[in-house]
A = this chain, B = another copy of it.
Amino acid sequence: MDEVPGAFGTSASFALRFGQTVFSSASLLFMCFHVDFYSYTAFCFLVTVMGLVIPWSMTLLVIDAYSVFVEYIPAQRRHVLITLLGDMVWSHLTLAAACSTASVTNILLEAQPPCPTKSCSRYQLSASLAFLSWFLSAASCLFNFWLFPSLL
């Protein structure tokens, strides 16, 4: 079996998971602090998705850290399949939440009266960070998908 950089248990995967954790946490924080996010369905969706993506990314970050720094964990079919399915679901949900947040923020900026600059900047920042988190999550998903057929 060839080792695929970025797939389960490699240092590139560790870097991707670290980025996902940082970006999703930052996105959640910017959306939650001092902002009435619960008035809009799209913002609640973003908060829910980010609240579920963070533990997922952190768990895999810990596993990858163990594999890289302590003892190499060889990729097993079952582990890669679970990681792959999870990543696929979360990356699509993250993209959906980021797009919804971005488009609702755009509507709020054009509305009468427009939303306060401080709140809208936070919404925009949160959506941007969610897009970054999606990008890294999709990359993890692709690398694991590439590895998977060789394990069958």
Binding site for B on A (CB under 8 A): 40-42, 92, 95-97, 99-104, 106-107, 138, 145-146, 149-150
Q: Is the CB of A107 within 8 A of B40?
A: yes
CA distance A45 to B102 in the complex (A): 12
Q: Smallest CB–CB gap between A143 and chain B, Å?
A: 12
Are A42 and B92 in touch, CB under 8 angstroms?
no
CB distance from A117 to the nearest CB of B (A): 19
| CB-based nearest B residue for A41 | B106
- The residue among A92, A99, A106 with the most chain B CB atoms within 10 A of its own CB is A99
| A100 proximity list for chain B (CB < 8 A) | 99-100, 102-103
Cross-chain pairs A/B with CB under 8 angstroms, 11 sampled:
A41-B106, A42-B107, A95-B96, A96-B96, A96-B99, A99-B103, A100-B100, A100-B102, A145-B145, A146-B149, A149-B150
Shortest Cβ gap from A12 to chain B (Å): 18
